Structure 1
Amino acid sequence: MILTVLFYSFVVITAIQIIYYLVFSTFLFDNKKDKKKVLELPISVIICAKNEAKNLKTFLPSIINQEYSNFEIVLINDASSDNTDEIMQSFKKENNNIKIINVENIEAFWGNKKYALTLGIKAAKNDHLLFIDADCKPLSKHWIYEMAQNFNKDKTIILGYGKYKKEKSIVNLFVRFETLLTAIQYFSYAKLGSPYMAVGRNLAYDRQEFFNVKGFINHMHIKSGDDDLFIQDAANKINTRISTSKNSFTESLAPKSFVEWFRQKRRHISTANYYKFKHKFFLGLFFMSKVLFFILATTLFFFYPWQIILPIFLTYYLVQFIVIGFSAKKLSEPTLIYVLPFLEIGLLIFHLSIFITNLTSKPNHWK
């Protein structure tokens, strides 16, 4: 009796997982951008930096050298203790489209990136804002153009893809795989009219959308979430568009160790508690059903006829390989598919450990 219940539970859980992956495939059929655009919209590229002197020196030229006729760069020095301001000033001397905003720590907003971003957004001269991190670079000289061309009178929030640089290490494999899966999810949710998050290292929106929701006021007390919690407030099925063209991608340096990555993901995952109920439910259902899938599959392989379990198990992986395979190709991460089962199980363990840790303590600062 118990084995029968477990078997049918396994069938239901597998069906749930397969439905999720079929839903995720929707982002592969991206909307076409407007074809008749000629004018290049004025864009303000906003970079918030805290102790990022070295990264600014390395990556800022890739922004300055963008092939776009009408853009400024707003550099926000968020109370840095290194020579970030000196590096910013040196670039400003040679480029008249750079504006520097120096932010001093105040007691009410100590260590709060959202406060610094708010000052930068208000200081920007253009209404169309494009965000990227200081340790990040566009993968094309046409990044600004590709992101900007998604704007129209209805589409005022553009979700981009932020890759991590490929390196030869196990942690790098996991970081890139997790980034790929996250992008597949937030792109597909947005495509289906229910945007729930973005990545601040490649995000664009109209400044009026920022003021419509009173900026970050609803979550200013939360140190992280300047991207996904803003999307929770401002994005909807009408005003949001995804950008999946390769020229619109950005690339960041990946964490070098599991400890560093663990700390980073703790900050990111902690914001999920403040998502809308529907997003928490469906994201939670996907995660829990995946955990149950592996638990039930392992149990039934030992105590139930394997000839019945194996075809169900292989059907799950066939659908997953197809969806993630095409998605990985579209997002320029094709090699990840070769070690998919290993990465999937490892990532589940990693996420479970983060959830357990976040139950006992919360990360406090963005840097």
Structure 2
Amino acid sequence: MELTLVESCLLGGLAFCFIIQLWFTLGVHLKLALYKIEPIIPEGLRPISVIICARNEAANLQEYLPLVLEQKYPDYEVIVVNDRSWDATEDILKDLSVRYPHLKVVNVNDGQKFLAGKKFAVTMGIKAAKHEWLVFTDADCMPATENWLLGMQQPADEATEIVLGYSPYIRKRGLLNALIRFETFFTAVNYLSFALKGMPYMGVGRNMAYKKSLFFKSKGFAAHMHIPSGDDDLFVNANAHRRNTRIAIQPDAHVWSEPKTGFIAYLRQKKRHLGAGKFYKGKHKFILSAQIFFQFMFYVTLIAALFFQPLAVYIALGVLALSIIIRCLVYPRLLRKLNYAGLRWWFPLLDLLLFIFLVFNAIVSIFVKKVQWK
């Protein structure tokens, strides 16, 4: 039994897509799987300014802000930017300011000029910061421990200007929550692995840090102030490189976040993130697009091969089995390292569902253009 020309071309395409998949798995993501996590330095070396932007986050601030204000760090301030809230945010911040003298509140009013969503609020917070090292998180985020700031502090190496942290989502019941957590995991694996490879391209504002001087040296968000999203990833994309960027993924330095509970809300969130990705550097867009494209073509050629003679089917299924085995040797280990150990048993299914969602989200983004913060 011999393969026809069509079958040979189809299986050749499948093999090529498999090789590209292997490059991302073994050439990039394996670096994070093998990365040795250094212990957190037990003392604060330099003062820190923590910046949180909040719009109608009264409940979250009441629950999570005290955990930020009670960090075991000798010298730090917490700046909360109240961005035109109309709930009880202002009252809660006033009460907390009495209890915590290192809490500073910055109010953004409705009539203020040059409003540009969250980026304006972040800029106001940075201008109000009195320290050089800035640590960012969100109002709905919870530090894993009281040692969070110890893990996110400025490294002794003065050349380090950016530290990329990690922020997993809190576990809740349901398939949507599992998908959200798995998508967050895969996004983190990508940006952390590429940072280790010397090609940092993004970070998440729920847990990251950089120098105040870097922000002003690069003119802040001026290059993309017109884009509603990107206060975190676009800034990192424009300013991070192999010499000035480090990662911090110690379990104590994680920041847990509240996930979306509805599919539409989650879709809107991912739409904002996808919109910012269009403004990444060309080499980053090429690599990330190739990652999705060849994963898509892997499944397309695999499914197509199943409609041909048995030999083609056996070869295609053999490639699929080899792909699953290799990936199952790498990603469950990463799931344990990044606080998602419970998802490792569902890895093959979630991997397929995530791919379907990413394709769906990309199609939706073509037709739905409007995005906003809050």
TM-score by length of 1: 0.96
Residue 208 of structure 1 deviates from its aligned partner by: 0.9
Aligned-partner SS, 1:209: helix
Structure 2 counterpart of 1:140, one-letter code: T
* Distance across 2 between alignment mates of 1:38 and 1:132: 21
Aligned-partner SS, 2:138: coil
What does residue 21 of structure 2 align with? 17
Conserved 8 A contact 1:47-1:74: yes
* Distance across 2 between alignment mates of 1:310 and 1:361: 37
What does residue 336 of structure 1 align with? 343
Counting only pairs closer than 5 Å after superposition, residues 339-350 of structure 1 correspond to structure 2 as 339-350=346-357
Counting only pairs closer than 5 Å after superposition, residues 118-267 of structure 1 correspond to structure 2 as 118-148=123-153, 150=155, 152-267=157-272
What does residue 93 of structure 1 align with? 98
Matched, 1:354 2:361: yes
Residue 288 of structure 1 deviates from its aligned partner by: 0.8
- Find the partner of 2:275 among 260, 270, 275: 270
Distance 1:163 1:38, change over 3 A: closer
Residue 33 of structure 1 deviates from its aligned partner by: 5.6
Distance 1:99 1:239, change over 3 A: same
Structure 1 counterpart of 2:327, one-letter code: Q
Conserved 8 A contact 1:173-1:336: yes
Aligned-partner SS, 2:125: helix
In angstroms, what is the RMSD of aligned CA positions? 1.7
Conserved 8 A contact 2:81-2:107: yes
Residue 273 of structure 1 deviates from its aligned partner by: 0.5
Aligned-partner SS, 1:303: coil
Residue 295 of structure 1 deviates from its aligned partner by: 1.4
**Which portions of structure 1, spanning 4 or more consecutive aligned residues, are displaced by more than 6 angstroms?**
34-37
* Distance across 2 between alignment mates of 1:121 and 1:219: 17
Conserved 8 A contact 1:151-1:158: no
Residue 117 of structure 1 deviates from its aligned partner by: 0.6
Matched, 1:300 2:305: yes
- Find the partner of 1:64 among 60, 65, 69: 69
Residue 111 of structure 1 deviates from its aligned partner by: 5.2
Equivalent pairs: percent with the same residue? 36
Aligned-partner SS, 2:324: helix
What does residue 322 of structure 1 align with? 329
Conserved 8 A contact 2:44-2:74: no
* Distance across 1 between alignment mates of 2:223 and 2:148: 31
Distance 1:282 1:2, change over 3 A: same
Distance 1:81 1:169, change over 3 A: same
Residue 3 of structure 1 deviates from its aligned partner by: 1.6
What does residue 83 of structure 2 align with? 78
